[in-house]
């Protein structure tokens, strides 16, 4: 593989993880030991919030008066598409039962989790779309109880009104005015609501991501998430201005959000790189600082000789978001294997999926696209198995179970087969040891 880095990242998304881990561990330990009182203390210290934690119906109703009709219509548009796509996902999985051999039936059942904890970021940006992605998807999966939380701010009198309105629109059953690790801990430990989350979902900063990682096992999580990523595969037929704008569009997420370009054309790569800094400089202050740091420290441009090389490089990165803007879109769509969500052609872009087009924007990062997809109804569903058998089916199943068990040295297992054979076929003799003919 002959590849050349025209721009190479100077940092990795894992930078600073040890310090983050220590901080999060301490907060989780404190809140688990001292409960709601300690969670409130952290909320006061880290969020600057000393108001009610459980958001009242009056506050939810008031939030609706602070949201314009245009935004309400836009949020409904996004909800309809995200919820609609999630319902189609539900239709793609089914319960069934099959007779594997005479008298032996096995099947699967789909059981939604009881309680989902949905984290909605509300720090730097008001992530209304994240509320839709997590809460609407949980609803589509049939989750009965949804606890949602987001960072409150004094200037809003609590949670950002647009976020609060969206949480309610999507069907949250309980809403907590609490962000960060303390919000995650409150949902995981069942504080304020009495309902412990079976699964924690939703994007967040590195502290939120680490809290979910540490709690995994005690609760389920959607995925291990890091800073937002974008990779674009483009050739000389692509529009360099659009490609550059799309890269900047994701770099504004934060100072550690990687933006990668993989291309088979040097002149095209140079055109894109020439446009990056002017586009970044044209952003408002907060977004400019985030995008500038992200592109400087984490941005990469990779030049490949062939499409196959470009595809291999992309699969190695396993990016969260992958755009393809090339002349041979079908080839790439069929060839690429590792990514969180794929955006095919210039006519669509990551931001469409981020906000309203229907696919979920809670996606794997840090190469996790090698082994998992993003948030979907499947994350909220337990696919469990069932089995039933006739007495006659025991003639084979019980005997084989006994022989395999004894071969493994598990005598008590073997005897559960023995007793059934003795009961159902008292007049018959069976070979119950694998090493006997």
The catalytic residues are: 320-321
Q: Is 321 helix (H, G, I), strand (E, B) or coil?
A: strand
Round the CA-based radius of gyration of the chain to a whole number and report it.
26
Q: Which residue has the tokens 């069907």?
A: 171
C-alpha 244 chain-centroid distance? 26
Residues 6+ apart with CB under 8 A from 127: 120, 121, 163, 203
CA angle 178, 203, 167 (to 5 degrees): 55
Q: Is 402 helix (H, G, I), strand (E, B) or coil?
A: helix
Q: How many residues does the chain have?
A: 437
Q: Are 324 and 233 in contact (CB under 8 A)?
A: yes
The first and second tokens of residue 66, run together, are 């602070």
- The rounded distance, in Å, linking the Cα atoms of 113 and 111 is 6
Angle 240-251/266-281 helices, nearest 10 degrees? Answer: 50
Q: Are 304 and 211 in contact (CB under 8 A)?
A: no
């Amino acid at each position: 593989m002959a590849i050349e880095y025209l721009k190479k990242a100077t940092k990795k998304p894992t930078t600073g993880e040890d310090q983050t881990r220590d901080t999060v561990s301490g907060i989780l330990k404190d809140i688990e030991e001292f409960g709601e009182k300690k969670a409130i203390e952290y909320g006061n210290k880290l969020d600057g919030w000393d108001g009610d934690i459980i958001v009242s119906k009056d506050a939810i109703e008031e939030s609706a008066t602070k949201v314009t009709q245009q935004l309400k219509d836009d949020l409904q548009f996004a909800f309809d598409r995200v919820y609609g796509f999630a319902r189609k996902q539900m239709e793609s999985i089914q319960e069934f039962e099959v007779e594997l051999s005479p008298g032996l039936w096995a099947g699967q059942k789909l059981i939604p989790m009881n309680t989902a904890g949905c984290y909605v970021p509300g720090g730097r940006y008001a992530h209304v779309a994240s509320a839709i992605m997590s809460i609407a998807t949980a609803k589509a999966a049939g989750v009965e109880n949804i606890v949602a939380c987001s960072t409150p701010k004094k200037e809003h009198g609590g949670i950002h009104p647009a976020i609060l309105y969206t949480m309610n629109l999507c069907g949250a059953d309980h809403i907590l005015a609490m962000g960060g690790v303390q919000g995650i801990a409150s949902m995981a430990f069942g504080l304020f609501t009495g309902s412990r989350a079976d699964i924690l979902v939703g994007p967040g900063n590195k502290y939120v991501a680490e809290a979910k990682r540490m709690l995994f096992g005690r609760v389920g999580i959607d995925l291990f998430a890091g800073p937002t990523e974008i990779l674009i595969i483009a050739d000389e037929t692509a529009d360099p201005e659009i490609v550059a704008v799309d890269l900047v569009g994701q770099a504004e997420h934060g100072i550690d959000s990687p933006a990668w370009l993989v291309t088979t054309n040097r002149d095209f790569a140079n055109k894109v790189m020439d446009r990056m800094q002017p586009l970044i400089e044209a952003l408002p202050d907060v977004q400019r600082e985030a995008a500038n740091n992200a592109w400087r420290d984490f941005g990469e441009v990779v030049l490949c000789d062939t499409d196959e090389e470009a595809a291999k490089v992309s699969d190695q990165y396993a990016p969260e978001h992958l755009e393809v803007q090339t002349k041979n879109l079908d080839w790439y769509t069929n060839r690429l294997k590792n990514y969180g969500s794929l955006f095919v052609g210039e006519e669509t872009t990551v931001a469409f999926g981020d906000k309203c087009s229907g696919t979920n924007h809670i996606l794997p990062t840090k190469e996790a696209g090698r082994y998992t997809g993003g948030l979907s109804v499947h994350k909220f569903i337990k696919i469990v198995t069932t089995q039933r058998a006739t007495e006659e089916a025991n003639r084979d199943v019980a005997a084989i179970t006994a022989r395999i068990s004894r071969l493994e040295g598990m005598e008590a297992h073997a005897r559960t087969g023995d007793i059934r054979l003795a009961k159902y076929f008292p007049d018959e003799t069976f070979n119950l040891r694998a090493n006997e003919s």
